[in-house]
Amino acid sequence: MLVINYLKTDAIVLRTYEYSETSYVLSLLTRAQGKLNALAKGGRRPRGVFGGEIDLLAEGQAVLFLAHQAASLHLCTEFCCRARRLGLRSSLDRSSAACYAAELAAAASPEGDSQPQLYDLLAHTLDGLETGDVAAVIAFFQVHLLRLTGLLPDLAACTGCGKRIGTQGALYSFQKAGVICPGCIRDDKEEQERGRSGEGTMAMRVSGATISLIKLALAGKLALDRTRVPSRLAIEAVGFLGRVISAAFEHDSLALRPMLAAMRRR
Ligand SMILES: [Zn+2]
């Protein structure tokens, strides 16, 4: 039996797929039920029932009919846009950062599972990216995405011996998902073997300044819209956190490299 549920919820358009000449399939992040894919019949018509309101990364109120049958597509019958966020298109670094945030929010959100904090994080990030410091906004997003998914590594102490990591920074091991102090590296035969065999991608140096910036972001002191941190430092943190997230989510982000390239060119 086909059971259909009506749902009215805040939603962000993560992706649009052309389904027919007049219709889209939308990938939505909803506040009420996480990620959902839904058919928007007539969504591509500028003067159709959606009135041209469907746009990539736009946020609004969606009306959905949920089909509780695995093979069925949900149906979106209304989308009332509240924030179109045209500022995201004003430069390549803003647009590529917005795509990165949307891609990761989608990767972190199980289908049909409500995660209002993740929804709010993406919404605030997209707002911040319209006018704010792009690298600082993304660093804040990455830190809190890791926190919300329970995957934020402890960067304050060595995973081997528990020694506090100071301002000199440390080596981050992707295999151990944590930092290692110089003493433990000396004692770690496996790590040395990896170093000799050229498996350099398994570990990465993280500076004390990057660790401090991550702590600031975690404490909420890296405000989304009026942050001023040196851009070189913020970009370094974004590159590091990007690799931590890729390893933790087992998801190779398509948008990470283009975003970092656009940030560095700015
Ligand atoms: Zn140690």
CATH of the domain at 73: 2.40.50.140
The pLDDT value recorded for residue 45 is 87
The pLDDT value recorded for residue 172 is 93
Residues 148 and 259 in one domain: yes
Residues 16 and 39 in one domain: yes
The pLDDT value recorded for residue 181 is 87
The pLDDT value recorded for residue 226 is 53
> What are 35's two structure tokens?
């990620």
Range of the domain at 75: 4-84
Question: What separation in Å is there between the alpha carbon of 120 and the centre of ligand 1?
Answer: 37
Average pLDDT by stretches of 10, the chain with 266 residues: 78 94 94 93 86 90 87 88 94 96 93 90 96 93 96 92 89 90 78 59 86 88 64 93 94 93 92
Please calculate the CA angle 239-240-243 and round it to the nearest 5 degrees: 90
Q: Which of 35, 50, 84 is the last residue of a domain?
A: 84
Q: How far is Cα 226 from Cα 258, in angstroms, rounded to an integer?
A: 24
Question: What separation in Å is there between the alpha carbon of 183 and the centre of ligand 1?
Answer: 6
Question: Coil, helix or strand for 231?
Answer: helix
218 CB burial (10 A radius; 0-12, 13-18, 19+) = middle
The pLDDT value recorded for residue 167 is 85
Residues 186 and 213 in one domain: yes
* Cα radius of gyration (the chain): 21
- Contact predicate 191/176, CB 8 Å: no
pTM above 0.85, yes or no: yes
| Residue 137: HSE in the Cβ half-sphere, 13 Å Cα cutoff | 28
Residues 107 and 238 in one domain: yes
Residues 182 and 118 in one domain: yes
User: How many domains, the chain?
Assistant: 2
The pLDDT value recorded for residue 129 is 95
Residues 122 and 164 in one domain: yes
Whole-Å CA distances, 7 to 10, 11, 74: 10, 11, 10
Question: What separation in Å is there between the alpha carbon of 174 and the centre of ligand 1?
Answer: 15
The pLDDT value recorded for residue 2 is 55
Residues 247 and 198 in one domain: yes
Residues 80 and 91 in one domain: no
Domain of residue 130, CATH code = 1.20.1440.120
Residues 75 and 122 in one domain: no
Q: In which residue are the tokens 């940030």 written?
A: 263
Q: Which of 84, 115, 142 is the last residue of a domain?
A: 84
Residues 175 and 46 in one domain: no
Question: What separation in Å is there between the alpha carbon of 44 and the centre of ligand 1?
Answer: 57
